[in-house]
Amino acid sequence: MFLKIKNNKRGIMAIMMVLIIGATALILALSSVKLVVNDSQMSFTNKKGGEAFSVAEGCLEESLRQIRINTSYTGETLNLSTGSCIIDVAIDGDDRIVTITGVVDEYTQRLQANITLSGNVITLNSRREI
């Protein structure tokens, strides 16, 4: 009682095609997921970097206000609701170099401004990100 098994080449080809199409679909799906995850991470980083920049900008404004009140102001550390900043003011006669480091979580933004005092008038000569 031996059964004769036929070689069914069409069935084997169909299984191979299903495997190839399935593997291709899996690769495409994984690539799409990776792109979405990377995009989410970049958006988060961009958001936190923008927040750190806003904190640094606000602290720069505060440092200018403090210099107007007290011309010998040399800086401080401010803790804000959204982050913190370190203000450092280097004094050279009527010129000041204000360096601000804004921090939100582990994201940091640094600004530097060169200003000149003339009586009660503050002139912002330059401002740049460092």
**Domain for residue 3, yes or no?**
no
pLDDT digits (tens, 9 = 90+) for 40-62: 888 888 888 889 999 999 999 99
- Give 41: exposed, middle or buried? Use CB within 10 Å, 0-12, 13-18, 19+: exposed
**Domain for residue 55, yes or no?**
yes
pLDDT digits (tens, 9 = 90+) for 5-18: 566 667 788 889 99
**Domain for residue 20, yes or no?**
yes
The full DSSP string for 23-80 is HHHHHHHHHHHHHHHHHHHHHHHHHHHHHHHHHHHHHHHHHHHHHHH-TT--EEEEE-
**Domain for residue 27, yes or no?**
yes
**Domain span holding position 19:** 9-129
The CATH number that applies at residue 91 is 3.30.1300
Quick check: 78 and 62 in contact, CB under 8 A?
Answer: yes
Q: How many domains does the chain have?
A: 1
**Domain for residue 28, yes or no?**
yes
Taking the whole predicted model, whether its pTM rises above 0.85 is answered as no
**Domain for residue 4, yes or no?**
no
Looking at residue 120, its pLDDT comes to 79
